[in-house]
Amino acid sequence: MKISIKKILKFATLLITSIIIASASADVVSHMYFGGTVDVISRKLVWIIDGTPQSTNIANLTLTVEAGGSITITNKVYLKNEDSNPHNLTITVTRAVSADKFDLFVDIYSNETGSWVLLDTLDATNSGDYFSTYELTPPNPLDGGKAYKLDFRVTATADANDATFELRVDYE
């Protein structure tokens, strides 16, 4: 087999050209980056459901009511200040259920004197309804080691379907 120098040079030229094109193509790659922030906090307030402190900032409770019926859920949900310092807070209805299908009220109680005292009632059919320690007379933050109790009163119409509501707690 006779190998021609001309064919070797042609092959070498094609090989070098391919390498140059490949490296140029590799330089055209787009880059995407994702950045994030990690906030290190110590949780001051915790949800307690059925006597168990929740390990996350999000707690869920299913309120089961028959269509056309009513139910009151008491002594199941607490919001406890685990800090030694008092904290002001606001509890806001951020997602409401339909007022056409439900009456849903959240009663917020304090136990500063040894017995539960009603502080406020949230209407969970009204997005934006809120309770704030700043608006108590006088303003009264949740003391360290103390808790608020949240009780729920639900009435569903005969044609009501499953619904979701959300409460958000902001504190400082």
Q: What percent of the chain has pLDDT over 90?
A: 45
Q: Taking residues 95-103, report their average pLDDT.
A: 91
What's the distance, CA 100 to chain centroid?
Answer: 26
Strand ranges inside the chain, DSSP E? 45-49, 52-53, 70-81, 89-95, 102-110, 117-123, 130-132, 147-156, 166-171
How many independent structural domains does the chain possess? 1
Q: Taking residues 151-157, report their average pLDDT.
A: 91
- Say which residue the tokens 């606001």 belong to: 90
Q: Taking residues 45-58, report their average pLDDT.
A: 85
What's the distance, Cα to Cα, between the start and end of the chain in Å? 87
Supply the pLDDT for residue 40.
Answer: 47
Q: Which of 17-21, 53-57, 106-110, 141-145 is least confident?
A: 17-21
Range of the domain at 129: 45-171
CA angle, residues 9, 11, 12, in degrees to nearest 5: 65
Q: Which of 16-25, 124-133, 159-168 is least confident?
A: 16-25
Residue 163 falls within a domain, yes or no?
yes
Give the CATH number of the domain where residue 131 resides. 2.60.120
Residue 4 falls within a domain, yes or no?
no
Residue 5 falls within a domain, yes or no?
no
More confident residue, 153 or 113: 153
Residue 25 falls within a domain, yes or no?
no
If you average pLDDT over every residue of the chain, what do you get? 83
**Omega prior to 138 cis, within 30 of 0:** yes
Name the DSSP class of 133. G
Query: Given a cut of 50, is residue 165 above it in pLDDT?
Result: yes
Residue 30 falls within a domain, yes or no?
no
Query: Given a cut of 90, is residue 55 above it in pLDDT?
Result: no
Residue 15 falls within a domain, yes or no?
no
Residue 112 falls within a domain, yes or no?
yes
Residue 107 falls within a domain, yes or no?
yes
For residue 115, the tally of other CB atoms under 10 A from its CB is 8
Q: Which of 13-22, 47-56, 80-89, 93-102 is least confident?
A: 13-22
Could you tell me which of 132, 133, 124 has the C-alpha nearest to residue 105?
124
pLDDT digits (tens, 9 = 90+) for 113-152: 889 999 999 999 999 999 999 998 888 999 999 999 999 9
Q: Taking residues 73-92, report their average pLDDT.
A: 92
Supply the pLDDT for residue 5.
Answer: 74
The whole-model pTM stands at 0.74
